[in-house]
Structure 1
């Protein structure tokens, strides 16, 4: 009995391995997949601006990284006691403008230093609906709860997204000849836009992604995250309680498809060992001061040493430090 419609594997898939450097930008779904890549010890930078939802804001973030942008006080505004950047997620907002700028520029500097060394750029678009600041005419990455009267809300056209994407990638791919880009559309439902408007938005993103991928064969790929949830899973059981975000099971399902289709086969064994170390360290001991738990931590350190001996490029600095802290060393 056929119980679901399978999504076909894309004919062109990237082949990512541990020698590659990656960056993920976009919606919180990019963070979900990026976190798993980091836990598996891939060299991976995730959302240096925080979560961004629309293609133009993601594009602008990349342009700022490429241009060496440095944020100054005039780039921030004060609202509800916090200093905000219209380009950044609220994680970067702060009561002190100096601290907000320090966090923004430190993070931007680290991300910018990676741009010319990247092998893969994974972009997850969430919505084609944007908010334009009425004073500046610029599309904002985050409204930070400013009154609606400050913004003009509109839906991007396919042509706008494609023209911007082609312009961006033409320069980016010429600058870094080994770079490949993976585009995907987030399955997160933007129900505040209304269900019909959400569908129009997703359709706009899908059409734009297809056209951009066609413009850069073998350099820009489309990964069917949206289709995996909407077609293969297609059930509210695979959404969180808010019926908007994918459940943990759904995220894991897409992650497994991503590893199957986009990661080199030889990465599988290393990934499983890295994931086991992460799982072991997430374990909450009943008696953290016991000799048994100390032996357990010692075994984790031995696993780390063995893996680092085979794969010296894997970064276990945080895990090693955590083990030693728990061992009181």
Structure 2
């Protein structure tokens, strides 16, 4: 008997190994996966200006990277004694104007470099709901708790999202023609948009994405079904965090396992196992650091670290 429907995941054509360079952009689920890659010492960069929830925000960041955009005073604003930028997450907020401008410019420079060198670009879209400034009809990436009457909330249309996917792909491949783009839709539920509103949002994101993929079979793009894994395979509140909206660690670990089976070869998995052994050993807190047993343990650990660093000098176990 079967007690769940197993969602099939295609095998990725472009595998990930320790020569790969990964860029992960989008919602908080993009952060979850990036943290996993980083734990296993893959070369990974994520969300240079913080979490971005909708396609237009990611598209604008890519435009900045392509054009080497330079932020200035016109791009930031002071609200409640904090400097913010509508194109960035609150993680970028600063107490001084010069500080946020410098941080934004440095982030875009580093992002452009990472994008040029990336073997894989993971894009995770969270919502199709956006906030548009009434004064200039500009869609923002983040409202920064500015009064809601400043914005018009609206749902991106199917065609707007489709056009954005096309532009996102064009921008990435203009900068890096060899990058493998991995699309996914976040399984995080945006209930602040309402139960029906959340479903409408995800439907637009998914529908437009699959039309784009169907029409661009020759483009280096891949769909990883994170949304479907949670909604159609796990589909139980025991796989959600206490807020009942975000997948919990058990769900994240399961999705990670499915992603590895799709993207990572058995040879790379063997190296990952060695990395995990070292990481867990370093997390160990000895009862008696001077005991003979612990000193032998440390000698063995140093040997394992040396083995990995000899082969992969970019790894860091500090």
TM-score range, shorter chain: over 0.9
Q: What is the CA–CA distance in structure 1 between the aligned matches of 2:63 and 2:72, rounded to whole Å?
A: 17
Farther-moved stretch of structure 1 (191-200 vs 295-304): 295-304
Confirm or deny that 1:15 pairs with 2:31.
no
**Counterpart contact for 1:14–1:221, Cα < 8 Å:** no
**DSSP-derived class of the 2:183 partner:** strand
Structure 1 segment 60-75 matched on structure 2, within 5 A: 60-75=60-75
Distance apart, 1:280 and its partner CA:
2.1
* Equivalent residue, structure 2, for 1:81: 81
Q: Deviations over 1:222-248 (max 9, x none)?
A: 110000001110000000000010000
**Counterpart contact for 2:125–2:184, Cα < 8 Å:** yes
Q: What is the CA–CA distance in structure 2 between the aligned matches of 1:88 and 1:287, rounded to whole Å?
A: 47
Q: What is the CA–CA distance in structure 1 between the aligned matches of 2:50 and 2:78, rounded to whole Å?
A: 19
**Counterpart contact for 2:5–2:233, Cα < 8 Å:** yes
Distance apart, 1:58 and its partner CA:
1.0
Q: What is the CA–CA distance in structure 2 between the aligned matches of 1:33 and 1:108, rounded to whole Å?
A: 21
Q: TM-score under structure 1 normalisation?
A: 0.91
Q: What is the CA–CA distance in structure 2 between the aligned matches of 1:87 and 1:297, rounded to whole Å?
A: 47
**Counterpart contact for 2:62–2:172, Cα < 8 Å:** no
**Counterpart contact for 1:25–1:51, Cα < 8 Å:** yes
Q: What is the CA–CA distance in structure 2 between the aligned matches of 1:282 and 1:71, rounded to whole Å?
A: 40
Q: What is the CA–CA distance in structure 1 between the aligned matches of 2:78 and 2:288, rounded to whole Å?
A: 47
* Equivalent residue, structure 2, for 1:135: 135
Q: Deviations over 1:19-64 (max 9, x none)?
A: 2211000011100100111111111111111111001101111111
Q: CA RMSD in A?
A: 1.8
Q: Provide structure 1 residue ranges, at least 5 long, that are not aligned to the other structure.
A: 323-329
Distance apart, 1:131 and its partner CA:
0.6
Confirm or deny that 1:95 pairs with 2:95.
yes
Q: What is the CA–CA distance in structure 1 between the aligned matches of 2:288 and 2:172, rounded to whole Å?
A: 53
Confirm or deny that 1:239 pairs with 2:233.
no
**Counterpart contact for 1:183–1:221, Cα < 8 Å:** yes
Farther-moved stretch of structure 1 (23-32 vs 69-78): 69-78
* Equivalent residue, structure 1, for 2:266: 265
Farther-moved stretch of structure 1 (286-295 vs 160-169): 286-295
Distance apart, 1:4 and its partner CA:
0.4
**DSSP-derived class of the 1:266 partner:** helix
Distance apart, 1:299 and its partner CA:
3.3
Cα pair distance change 1:302/1:204, threshold 3 Å: same
Q: Provide structure 2 residue ranges, at least 5 long, that are not aligned to the other structure.
A: none
Cα pair distance change 1:295/1:132, threshold 3 Å: farther
Farther-moved stretch of structure 1 (138-147 vs 65-74): 65-74
Cα pair distance change 1:106/1:210, threshold 3 Å: same
Q: What is the CA–CA distance in structure 2 between the aligned matches of 1:145 and 1:294, rounded to whole Å?
A: 53
Distance apart, 1:160 and its partner CA:
0.5
Q: TM-score under structure 2 normalisation?
A: 0.94
Q: What is the CA–CA distance in structure 1 between the aligned matches of 2:171 and 2:16, rounded to whole Å?
A: 23
